[in-house]
Amino acid sequence: MSRPPPDPLLTAIADYVTSPLAPSEEAWETARLCLLDSLGCAFAALRHPECTKLLGPVVPGTLVPAGARVPGTPFVLDPVKAAFDLATMIRWLDFNDTWLAAEWGHPSDNLGAILAVADRIAREARSAGDPVPRMETVLEALIKAYEIQGVLALDNAFNRVGLDHVILVKLASCAVCTRLLGGGREEIVDALSQVWVDGHPLRTYRHFPNAGPRKSWAAGDAASRAVQLALLTLAGEIGCPTALSAPRWGFRDVLFGGREVRLSRPLATYVIENILFKVKHPAEFHAQTAVEAALALHPEVRDRIAEIERITIRTQEAAVRIIDKKGPLHNPADRDHCLQYMVAVPLLFGRLTAADYGEAVAADPRIDALRARMQVYEDPAFTAAYHDPARRAIPNAVRVFFAGGDATREVEILHPLGHRCRRHEARPHLEEKFRDHLDGHFPARRRERILAATETPAGIAALPVDRFVDLFLP
């Protein structure tokens, strides 16, 4: 008996990955910003021992000829472990870009796999005297990975069945990395089928009472597995053509309640053009506008903290479901996914930084005292604006009431600074964020070389991949 034809979703993604791409100027420029912002977040993570202890070869001292370099570190690794390391670094501080829809996620997680594979290919080519791929291939792969992950997230809520969103990182990275490694349409279909057959992480590490550091390396785990599945396929491993649709045994029936996983729009450049940046605050994205509102209220409340009677937070349904947390918070990963914590800190201090999730700041008793006075509730109009594809709002409104009966104004913000409709306003802050992340990690002369080489999409695209990565080596 012959094998059945592959599931249509597999062929649709493979057709997209193998087709020429003609990105708009906006898409190229946004891809440049995504690339630099992701690397900047990775360098910032290297200041945290909890992250750096996970990096490097699985067996200390392992040498990989023409291996992939991990930017910001001395490590030369096989591309599977290099993908884990870079994706983990990018994600560690919850400061990289975001996509919100029926499913949530961080498309920049894919850069760990893409750059590791591309760097390995480039160094092998240079060693052999062959043409070295240029960064144009990385930018194009990045745009396509963003699109695959983001469009699948529009209507497919894996979180509703308890699965983590990094399933889409594994899928998108596997598709584009199989292509980078020389795979054609059939190999991409086979590799993608292996992704759907794989075991998939539960979201439990993102939620009370199990929230913990695994949420910071989950993307690294997905990126590394994506590369491994691509390599296995290109070594001759056959796929499972009906991995999604097979009755009883396929992903649809086993893990997705019988629902079809579908693309709700044609794959192009929609996601990269509409990506959400975390410009100033390392906070779960459903809270970004709440943080902005709290910062706006800080001057009105900083001298009246003891008088605060209650604080109201109007928000969207997704924020209520994900980050409305009461009771004790046990670690930084718990705190950066607590809406009340992310509002209390800027009300008190007029800031929210990665350090504010640490034990020293969290020990301030005023934070939990303010959290206990907060009332979080869904505004159906905010939820509708959140799901409207023409608006893609992430609204929050914050107001503070005092014991004497008076209150602050209510500060309502629909679109955060990182939204597409505020891109012109955000761009200089994103450039500053990147420079800040370079400071303290690279000497001044190197920083100037990096900034000059990455000033335009065309300048980045023309660089050989290995020479681009060399800019960021110690």
What is the tens place of the pLDDT at every residue in 71-83? 999 999 999 999 9
Q: So what's the pLDDT on residue 194?
A: 98
Residue 248 Ramachandran class (φ > 0 left, ψ -120 to 50 alpha, else beta): left
Q: Which amino acid is at 101?
A: A
> Could you tell me where the DSSP H helices lie in 388-438?
423-438
Q: CA 474, CA 468: separation in Å to the nearest integer?
A: 13
Could you tell me if 117 and 146 are in contact, meaning their C-beta atoms sit under 8 angstroms apart?
no
Q: So what's the pLDDT on residue 1?
A: 62
Q: CA 115, CA 71: separation in Å to the nearest integer?
A: 10
Q: Partners of 77 in the beta sheet?
A: 68
Q: So what's the pLDDT on residue 208?
A: 81
- Give backbone dihedrals phi and psi of 268, rounded to 5 degrees, phi first: -150, -110
Nearest residue to 420 via CA among 281, 275, 322? 275
Q: So what's the pLDDT on residue 267?
A: 98
Q: Which amino acid is at 247?
A: P
DSSP codes joined into one string, 113-125: HHHHHHHHHHHHH
Scanning the structure block, which residue is given the tokens 């409340």?
Answer: 301
Per residue in 97-133, pLDDT tens? Answer: 999 888 989 999 999 999 999 999 999 999 999 999 9
374-378 vs 308-315, strand pairing mode: parallel
Residues of the chain with pLDDT under 70: 1
Q: So what's the pLDDT on residue 2?
A: 79
Q: CA 151, CA 166: separation in Å to the nearest integer?
A: 14
Sequence length of the chain is: 474
